[in-house]
Amino acid sequence: MPHPKTKAICIEETPQQAHLSPMQKKFNELIQKIDAQNKLLSTWQETIPQCQQEIARKLTPLQDTFCTHQAEMVALLDNLYTTHKFTHSQQNKIEYLITSLCEELISQHGRDDLKPIYDYYSGHNYDDAIQENNELADELLKSMFEKEFGVEFNDDEFDFSNPEETAARLKEKMQEQQKQAEEFRAKRKKSAKQLAKEAREKEEEAVTNKSIQAIYRQLVAALHPDRELDPMERERKTELMQKVTVAYGKKDLLQLLELQMNIEQIDQRGINHIAEDRLKQYNAILQNQLTELRHKVKQMEMDIRRMTGLAPHEHLSPKRFSTLLDADIRMLRTQINRMQHNLRLFSDVTQFKIWLKSYHIPEPEFDSLFDDF
């Protein structure tokens, strides 16, 4: 059965009303913003699974291949170091190359079998070094979080090596402190002004809920499938009732109004002549809906930034996410080709020594082994 196209909600100017009121303009503005956020959320929801498939199909196999070549390079360099004579400067460079490769393979790919090689060429124990670095990083993060969020940490309360767990615990901690602050405020005697404000907010919330309930009841009265004798019409109404129920549960005013227009329960004239006091209620509902949508989009984008390593200040969009993935695939293919070339080149110790002569150990802050490798 073909589905009728959903009619867009918008208050239009008319010959009788050539200019919209501020409340009407706000209504249209909120609907446009909600529509934009819904489209962005929908695009993200379509883009992410597609990119995840591309990651599994293209990126992950390339990462595995590159990891394998890195391990092969460690074995080759180790063999060269132990079976040929090198100057002190050349030895330092080889040691750096081996430890850098091992460190990446151990930390990012779980190659614990390379720890003895790392320990030998670095001159210190990998696990001890990691523990010391983690302790220093934990103290720094603890101090930063306490200062930034005003949250006090107990010893061993947070595992800073696990970003997801840290974020979850930090959120819990902040909620605990917020709850304690609210309980403290609740115990204090409220002023007449505070009491009046709370009463006003409760009244506005009740009026808002009644506005949505009124639309819901009108839709139910028109669409209840049990009263329909025609099988095809009953099926149509059942489908529409499901949409009504979902929209009502989400307090999705826009969807409820669109459904009313879809079944011609209201028309454009009815939208154009919504009373100002009702518009005020509708605008409050739409503003809450917009805030929730923005939060969903922001949360999804934060998850994507964590997944891609994209910095908070860098622009992010569904199109750019796909572009970044394509760029990562191209870059990894280039790195694999370079690594394969160097594996062949270094197999000849003479060529390897020529390469070492032009190679310089990067400064710590610019430690990018594979720019030269």
Task: Clarify whether residues 50 and 97 are in a common domain.
Answer: yes
Nearest alpha-carbon partner for 31 in 225, 256, 195, 236: 256
Long-range contacts of 72-77 (CB under 8 A, 24+ apart): 72/343, 73/97, 73/101, 73/339, 73/342, 73/343, 73/346, 73/373, 74/98, 74/101, 74/102, 74/105, 74/114, 74/117, 76/343, 76/346, 76/347, 77/101, 77/346
- Let me know whether 259 and 291 are in one domain: no
Domain check: are 327 and 259 in the same one?
Answer: no
Site of tokens 């197999």: 347
Q: Is 98 helix (H, G, I), strand (E, B) or coil?
A: helix
Q: Mark the ranges of the chain whose per-residue pLDDT is less than 50.
A: 1-5, 366-371
pLDDT of residue 1: 41
- For the chain, the domain total comes to 3
Q: Are residues 174 and 262 in the same domain?
A: no
34 and 99 both lie in a single domain:
yes
CA distance 341 to 163: 37
Residue 234 included in any domain: yes
b/e sequence 213-233, b meaning 16+ C-beta within 10 Å: eebbebbeebbeeeeeeeeee
Q: pLDDT for 73-111, tens place per residue?
A: 999 999 999 999 999 999 999 999 999 999 999 999 999
Q: Are residues 300 and 346 in the same domain?
A: yes
Note down the domain range covering 251: 192-273
Residues 229 and 303 in one domain: no
42 CB-side CA count, 13 A: 6
Separation between Cα atoms, residue 21 and residue 162, nearest integer Å? 52
If you search the block for the tokens 């609740």, which residue do you land on? 186
Of 188, 209, 229, the residue at which a domain comes to its end is 188
179/196 same-domain check: no
Cα–Cα distance for residue pair 215/289, rounded to 1 Å: 16
What is the structure's pLDDT at 48?
A: 85
Same domain, 225 and 307: no
- pTM for the model: 0.63
Domain end marker among 144, 165, 188:
188
6 in any annotated domain: no
Does 17 fall in a domain?
no
**Has residue 105 been placed in a domain?**
yes
Say how many C-beta atoms besides its own lie within 10 A of residue 346's C-beta: 19
248 and 159 belong to one structural domain: no
Q: Are residues 76 and 147 in the same domain?
A: no
**Could you tell me how many residues make up the chain?**
373
Point out the domain boundary residue: 188, 209, 237.
Answer: 188
